[in-house]
Structure 1
Amino acid sequence: MSATPEDDAVNSADTAPALRKRHGNGPVFFVVATLFAVAVSVGWGFSVMNYTGLSGGVYHQVVAVTAPTGDAARIDFEVNSKNGAECLLRALDGQMVEVGTERVEVEGGNRMVSQTVETVRQASTVEVASCREQGSQD
């Protein structure tokens, strides 16, 4: 048994080459690991570049909402689509209960849309529930 820490350091240095050989400290391990890292990075980059989101390439943004009367609410929103879109609008009251819906067809390109939604009682907000490409499956 070693009496001092210095002796332990000397004895462990003698076994280090054996540990390196057993755990694959050669160049093959590093080449394979590097190739794997490059392949994962290229795959990740390809995935990020081709991601279109869940909406299928149709983007919308609400610009303004008004609900001046108890039987109608108005929404102004912008839609950007390649081939046209079909949007579903929902009017909600103060307790977030649906009080009216409307489907709107929008031409392709970047379009501003103003639409009135008929309601059964006073709405507090109107939202664009979804926008899909025209002709897509529901």
Structure 2
Amino acid sequence: MNSADTAPALRKRHGNGPVFFVVATIFAVAVSVGWGFSVMSYTGLSGGVYHQVITVSAPSESEARISFEVNSKNGAECLLRALDNQMVEVGEVRVDVEGGNRMVNQTVETVRQASTVEVASCREQGSQD
């Protein structure tokens, strides 16, 4: 048996190993980079503002109150909306919040009785998004 006879037998048994290995390695690296990017974006390592409503009240027809927590790196601008029981906006106010983890208590003036107040949005101060 010479070496020319053993080469085809090895190819049949192991396939074209080097080509398959290179293609599989490139695919694995691409998937790993994509997965890493998506995990970083999801967990907020790329920045962002987070808020959580703590309490809401509407003690009178002319005002509603909200307490919420904001976590931001450089400060945030939050838009608060008061809504009536038909979910129609009856009041709105913008609030600037300092950077870090902050508790905010805010009153929203309303044109009629509100049933809830929501944090419509919070974004980094100075952003144009």
- TM-score, normalization by structure 2: 0.79
Identity of aligned pairs, percent? Answer: 66
The runs of 5 or more residues in structure 2 that have no matched partner are 1-7
Residue 41 (1) aligns with residue 31 (2): yes
**Offset of residue 71 of structure 1:** 0.9
- TM-score, normalization by structure 1: 0.75
> Cα RMSD (Å) of the superposition?
2.2
Q: 2:53 aligns with which of 55, 62, 71?
A: 62
**Deviation per CA, 1:37-90, whole angstroms, max 9, x where unpaired?**
32123212331343166xx51100001100111111000000000111010000
Query: Which whole-Å CA distance do the structure 2 matches of 1:63 and 1:100 have between them?
Result: 19
The runs of 5 or more residues in structure 1 that have no matched partner are 1-16
- Spell out structure 1 runs of 4+ moving beyond 4 A: none
Residue 125 (1) aligns with residue 116 (2): yes
Q: 1:81 aligns with which of 61, 72, 78?
A: 72
Partner of 2:22: 32
Query: Which whole-Å CA distance do the structure 1 matches of 2:103 and 2:114 have between them?
Result: 22
Query: Which whole-Å CA distance do the structure 1 matches of 2:29 and 2:85 have between them?
Result: 52
**Deviation per CA, 1:12-55, whole angstroms, max 9, x where unpaired?**
xxxxx9xx97xxx42134313421332123212331343166xx
> How many pairs does the alignment contain?
116
**Offset of residue 134 of structure 1:** 0.8
